[in-house]
Amino acid sequence: MRYISTRGQAPALGFEDVLLTGLASDGGLYVPESLPHFSLEEIRSWRGLSYADLAFNVMYPFVEEAIPEDDFREMLKETYGVFAHKAVAPLVQLDTNEWVMELFRGPTLAFKDFALQLLGRLLDYVLEKRKQHVVIMGATSGDTGSAAIEGCRRCEHVDIFILHPYQRVSEVQRRQMTTVPGENIHNIAVKGNFDDCQRMVKESFGDQSFLGGKTQLAAVNSINWARIMAQIVYYFQASLSLGGPDRSMAFSVPTGNFGDIFAGYLAKKMGLPISQLVIATNKNDILHRFMSGNKYEQHQLEHTLSPSMDIMVSSNFERLLFDLHGRDGAAVKELLENASKGPVSIEDYRWKSARKLFDSDAVDDKTTCDTIREVFDQNEYLLDPHTAIGVRAARNCRRDASVPMITLGTAHPAKFPDAVAESGVSVKPELPVHMADLFEREERYTVLDNDLSEVQGFISKHWKNA
């Protein structure tokens, strides 16, 4: 499998290099040159497989040149063996034909564990083979950081530096990052917002001279292809549990950077019958504005009760735009260069082809709270604010009641107790047993100014062989 850039100019790479590279040298994102395609018969034959075995079938075509079959199987067993639920991604029914897939049973209680537990193992595997070291530099609005740190805590060939916006992540989120012991783990609180953090990471990837050529950066944000790859699996898992592939499914996906939902789009292209994908956003609704009016335009960042979706631009959307433009990298490059200066649109027929599959909704904080309360009243089931946005959007956008509607449950409600309290629900979400002592653990982090050279200076001084 070869991987190509969405901007058409960077060299094509194999899996190992894509894993280590992050952003392509032309500023684009890597995507597979072609996707594997599974027949209905083949997908049907996967019914009843464990999550790890299903994950092997879905992902192996993407990695087969880099990793022998047995090693990959073993890696997947370990990865999904750390989840606190035997089904790994259990489904909970909300109503007739309406479901939540709980993707928060991993070590850090958000869906990002699915990809980042695997990514850490993939990186260490490849680096061991190559006798190399990398510095992971990532930005987080909360959940990516803790999942990445958990995923890399046992990596021997990786130092990890995670930038989070100072005082803008929940206390549970911060503690999940800052209480993990390990010499290779470094938390930086930047006096700025998430987009400031993300911009510093992007710029550092563009010019890595601050590392003095002694190591290189690797990405763990959702531009890393391996993360998208790992997220394709649970769409298959949900479908197979509910009668797929002999009936099609609809999914509603709380989204910010368009990573998780892009994986659903790929699942469909790989042969899984999916008839609708609902893009569920909060007030940071650039994707909703594009889907409803064919206008892609940055607005000011809004801080919401669903901070993991607080973004201005949606980085993985570039991967969909690449397909919508017939994989013409030059066209994508031009479009996105224009988009950084002002609003852009795409040709009407391209936009309409996206609308065949995607619907969208933007849900404000009040409606998020109303939905948490509504579902609690109906089911005595507590949603986190991100999942609540997914459920609201699913209910608003549903096209066909006979098609199962599955909302991706992206976080455990105990990660966002303030939003739950604000909804007026009378119960407090409890942390799962394996995290019950989180508030007693010791924290370690460094506060830095919103200044690129200060952050780069810190990293160049603190990695393992600095």
Ligand X SMILES: *Cc1c(COP(=O)(O)O)cnc(C)c1O
Q: Which of 32, 107, 244, 254: binder of ligand X (CB under 6 A)?
A: 254
Minimum CB separation from ligand X for residue 143, in Å?
3
Close Cβ partners of 63 (under 8 Å, ≥ 6 residues apart):
1, 15, 72, 122
DSSP 406-434: EEEE-B-GGG-HHHHHHTT-SSPPPPPGG
Residues across the chain: 466
Tell me if 359 contacts ligand X by CB under 6 A. Answer: no
CB of 410 to ligand X, least distance (A): 3
Please, are residues 416 and 156 in contact by the beta-carbon 8 Å criterion? no
CB of 360 to ligand X, least distance (A): 13
Rg over alpha carbons for the chain, rounded to the nearest Å, is: 21
Is residue 112 near ligand X by the rule CB under 6 A? yes
Stretch that binds ligand X, among 8-16, 48-56, 211-219, 255-263 (CB under 6 A): 255-263
Q: Is residue 309 involved in binding ligand X (CB under 6 A)?
A: yes
Show the CA angle centred on residue 405, arms to residues 315 and 306, nearest 5°. Answer: 45
- 386 touching ligand X, by CB under 6 A: yes
* C-alpha to C-alpha distance for 323 and 330, rounded to whole angstroms: 12
Looking at the Cβ atoms of 127 and 411, the one nearer to ligand X is: 411
Handedness of CA 251, 255, 257, 259 (dihedral sign): negative
Span interacting with ligand X, options 234-242, 256-264, 363-371, 440-448, rule CB under 6 A: 256-264
Q: For residue 384, give the amino acid letter.
A: D
**Taking the complex as a whole, how short is the minimal distance between the CB of residue 173 and ligand X, in angstroms?**
9
Residue choice 235, 258, 296, 317 for contact with ligand X (CB under 6 A): 258
- Of 329 and 413, which has the nearer Cβ to ligand X? 413
Q: Which of 112, 283, 333, 415 is catalytic?
A: 112
Of residues 6 and 222, the one with the C-beta less far from ligand X: 222
112 is catalytic: yes
Q: Is 110 in the site for ligand X (CB under 6 A)?
A: yes
Q: How many C-alpha atoms does 440 have within 13 Å on its Cβ side?
A: 3
Best CA proximity match to 232, nearest among 358, 408, 389:
408
Among 79, 108, 241, 308, binds ligand X (CB under 6 A): 308
- Interacting stretch for ligand X, rule CB under 6 A, among 52-60, 81-89, 248-256, 294-302? 248-256
Using CA atoms, how far apart are residues 170 and 363, in angstroms rounded to an integer?
20
Coil/strand/helix, residue 6: coil
Site for ligand X in 220-239 (CB under 6 A): 222
Q: Which residue has the tokens 């092997």?
A: 56
Taking CB under 6 A as the rule, does residue 259 contact ligand X? yes
Residue 91 parent element (H or E): strand 91-95
Strands across the sheet containing 216-218: 216-218, 134-139, 158-165, 185-190, 446-448
- Each residue 402-421 as x (binds ligand X by CB under 6 A) or -, in order, gives --------xx----------
Which residues form the interface with ligand X (CB under 6 A)?
Answer: 110, 112, 143, 222, 254-260, 308-309, 386, 410-411
Would you please indicate which residues are annotated as catalytic (active-site) residues?
Answer: 112
